[in-house]
Structure 1
């Protein structure tokens, strides 16, 4: 019997077109099928996709063996009658246990081949698990993982490591790129965030991420897609950064729809964005981090922070000391917590470190006193009070930092509100109850906020986003004159837009009607 009659190879390819060519459903390669020959298709699957199962319509060998089983069963005595196939344990019983004529397991005769569509679906989920959870490609060669997959789906054939890296991942990557490019082509405005850094091996990288609104199948949602994370060997100068941005935008054909680019406050980043003529906005969380770290460098506060860091380092260096402090927490009836380390580039990690030390204060003091530790210097009573009052001052900064770091919501329209809350929190604190170092910290933070964000309402991008946010509108502003100025600017922009339904003359007529009737909302035309 020929391969054409026994193997359903067409399940893995598209239907032939007018030029007698088919397309592989896995890698997209086109093959010729003149005279309906399946030989090239079978060779392509064997060479490029060896894990894909070729489903056979019939098998003379299996039919012959089934007849042998039937004949053997009929000749068996009544006490040696073979149990029905449905009652056989499929996983651990074979033919030799049933009739003693063959060693092939029973489930081979009853397991149906997995449909090609189901095979592809499981392949995609496997690749999604490997890429999203950062598993190695060698996972598919792990014996225990193979056993698990075989138990879950005996008919599924795991791809090899080479198939995963050379066929499945490139195919799914290309499909994902096509989806992102299709979304970007429909987006009317796009915001970019970008950053450059060096790895532990001193390898330089540069990444650009696009943020935009997607309207797809009667569904609107905010999407964030990574446009590129590439090794970058050039110097991180403003000119080179501008060239890198231009290359990425030109490749995706979105260079004329960039509303703004958000970066950190590094001078080369700001220069690169402004060289290209794009609107730049410094990362609010990064700016807030710099302001807060500047306040924590006040002399008396810095001494307390350094002592707390030394305490944390001491307890992390010795496993014996960690066991003792855990026992002390249990003895005092306190929650079993661990000390947190500080991260120099994230001020709120310093906040979390100090807050955790304050929560474990009694256990720390008791453990140090019991073990007579001479290598660690505990805080004095005044220093403990400075740490506690500083946490009250910094609590609002911590809350704003964590809120502004959201990834699934728009935060630009909230910046004026956050700045206002931070300023009012500093001014409402009762200075008479604060120790002098904490009062200096509060004053330094207030000055830093005013210096960096005092003119935030003058920023056109931020003020317009605040007005357009239905949660805030007019109430997001502290200065009513700045609100009116922003609305006036938006009104002129809308008036210059040519639409099919509303023309410029219609807007001018509405504007004239508003001026004649002062009681009417001046911007109801919008």
Structure 2
């Protein structure tokens, strides 16, 4: 820079990290606060994340809303919560600080979280309406079903070792690529299994089956890696068939356009689909059992039942007729509140009479 632009002063690292970035962050927060001031109703969600070393622990707090008939969201805070134990009280206090700053306390209509006890406690401090994340429940249901297959853990362990070996060894990676080249097929890699990712198991097994021929050829020349037996491949196929309906549901749930009004209908559709099939009956029964437990909890939420009822896609097809009466009561109560507010405002600001002008002819009939 001294040669190209001698007069230009390069900012120091401390200037950028201690001044510029904090100023930019504060500017963003103020703009976000102004943006949220124009939104009438919001929902919030949160989750805690910890890295593999356990040194970094963060709470992500997100705000969801509809604007111009499009669903949108904003990250309110990413809070460092490594200083104290993650009790519900502590998490609730941290989120309420953000809620107070953005002035959205009276705008929050619902809170979505996972099913942990501390998360439930924290969400109770934020909103009376709070319920479990449906995607998380689908993940738990999938685990219940796959636990029936005794050989699945062995298969995952073998795939995990093979995936790691190919990734870290350049020699093994060349051997792997060479097999695909000799078979005149595009090179595909094995996928890494991630426990916390909802669709990971399905994706790992599906990819393994897609490269089954190449993987078998590769493992025959590797003394340090165990081969996958025919019975284990059959287990993979069975698990894929079992998880297929759930995988489609995962895609829907993780979409930004997925609404809470779809939770009860989707849960019932998945249960019905699983019950209609006979293959892998014991595994399907485990998933159905878990989903029925969660469905019962969702059906206890007034908010979700009413949301489903007013959704034109479902109407009364997935909720009991009792909720029609409840919705009518709620609507009548809202009308009464509006009328009462209107009457109060008219008494405070009475109508101004225009005197003689009240009797003026405003139109003449032919």
In the superposition, the TM-score normalised over structure 1's length comes to 0.57
* Alpha-carbon distance, 1:455 to partner: 5.0
**Contact persistence 2:309–2:324 (CA under 8 A):** no
1:182 and 1:340, CA in 2 relative to 1: closer, same or farther beyond 3 A?
Answer: same
The residue aligned with 1:179 is: 31
Say which one has the larger Rg. 1
Gapped regions of structure 2 (runs ≥ 5)? 344-366
The residue aligned with 2:85 is: 235
The residue aligned with 1:129 is: none
**Contact persistence 1:324–1:367 (CA under 8 A):** yes
- Which one of the candidate residues 474, 480, 486 is aligned to 2:315? 474
Matched, 1:294 2:144: yes
1:425 and 1:323, CA in 2 relative to 1: closer, same or farther beyond 3 A?
Answer: farther
**Contact persistence 1:464–1:490 (CA under 8 A):** no
1:76-475 to structure 2, matched below 5 A, reads 160-161=11-12, 164-165=16-17, 168-199=20-51, 200=53, 202-214=55-67, 219=68, 221-232=70-81, 233-275=83-125, 278-298=128-148, 301-317=149-165, 318-369=169-220, 371=221, 373-406=222-255, 408-429=256-277, 431=278, 434=279, 438-454=280-296, 456-470=298-312, 472-474=313-315
* 3-state SS in 2 of match to 1:250: helix
In the aligned structure 1, how far is the partner of 2:10 from the partner of 2:44? Answer: 37
- Listed one character per residue, the Cα deviations across residues 275-310 of structure 1 (whole Å, up to 9, x for unaligned) are 556321111111111121122222xx2423422431
* Alpha-carbon distance, 1:337 to partner: 0.5
**Contact persistence 2:61–2:77 (CA under 8 A):** yes
1:467-506 to structure 2, matched below 5 A, reads 467-470=309-312, 472-474=313-315, 477-498=317-338
**Contact persistence 1:304–1:379 (CA under 8 A):** no
In the aligned structure 2, how far is the partner of 1:482 from the partner of 1:158? Answer: 71
In the aligned structure 2, how far is the partner of 1:341 from the partner of 1:269? Answer: 29
1:170 and 1:248, CA in 2 relative to 1: closer, same or farther beyond 3 A?
Answer: closer
In the aligned structure 1, how far is the partner of 2:227 from the partner of 2:329? Answer: 58
In the aligned structure 2, how far is the partner of 1:171 from the partner of 1:330? Answer: 53
* Count of aligned pairs between the two proteins: 338
1:256 and 1:160, CA in 2 relative to 1: closer, same or farther beyond 3 A?
Answer: same
In the aligned structure 2, how far is the partner of 1:410 from the partner of 1:502? Answer: 36
**Contact persistence 1:195–1:264 (CA under 8 A):** yes
- Listed one character per residue, the Cα deviations across residues 381-403 of structure 1 (whole Å, up to 9, x for unaligned) are 33322211221220121121122
* Alpha-carbon distance, 1:267 to partner: 0.6
1:334 and 1:500, CA in 2 relative to 1: closer, same or farther beyond 3 A?
Answer: farther
**Contact persistence 2:151–2:235 (CA under 8 A):** no
Gapped regions of structure 1 (runs ≥ 5)? 1-142, 504-526
The residue aligned with 2:361 is: none
- Listed one character per residue, the Cα deviations across residues 415-440 of structure 1 (whole Å, up to 9, x for unaligned) are 123213311221222x2xx3xxx332
* 3-state SS in 1 of match to 2:263: helix
**Contact persistence 1:238–1:272 (CA under 8 A):** yes
1:272 and 1:315, CA in 2 relative to 1: closer, same or farther beyond 3 A?
Answer: closer
How much is the aligned-residue C-alpha RMSD, in angstroms?
Answer: 3.2
The residue aligned with 2:353 is: none
1:382 and 1:205, CA in 2 relative to 1: closer, same or farther beyond 3 A?
Answer: closer
In the aligned structure 1, how far is the partner of 2:64 from the partner of 2:114? Answer: 17
In the aligned structure 2, how far is the partner of 1:416 from the partner of 1:240? Answer: 31
* Alpha-carbon distance, 1:263 to partner: 1.1
* Alpha-carbon distance, 1:457 to partner: 3.8
In the aligned structure 2, how far is the partner of 1:493 from the partner of 1:334? Answer: 66
In the aligned structure 1, how far is the partner of 2:137 from the partner of 2:234? Answer: 28
**Contact persistence 2:136–2:198 (CA under 8 A):** no
* Alpha-carbon distance, 1:201 to partner: 5.1
In the aligned structure 2, how far is the partner of 1:412 from the partner of 1:211? Answer: 12
1:196 and 1:427, CA in 2 relative to 1: closer, same or farther beyond 3 A?
Answer: same
The residue aligned with 1:91 is: none
**Contact persistence 1:291–1:449 (CA under 8 A):** yes
Higher RCO (C-alpha 8 Å, min separation 6) = 2
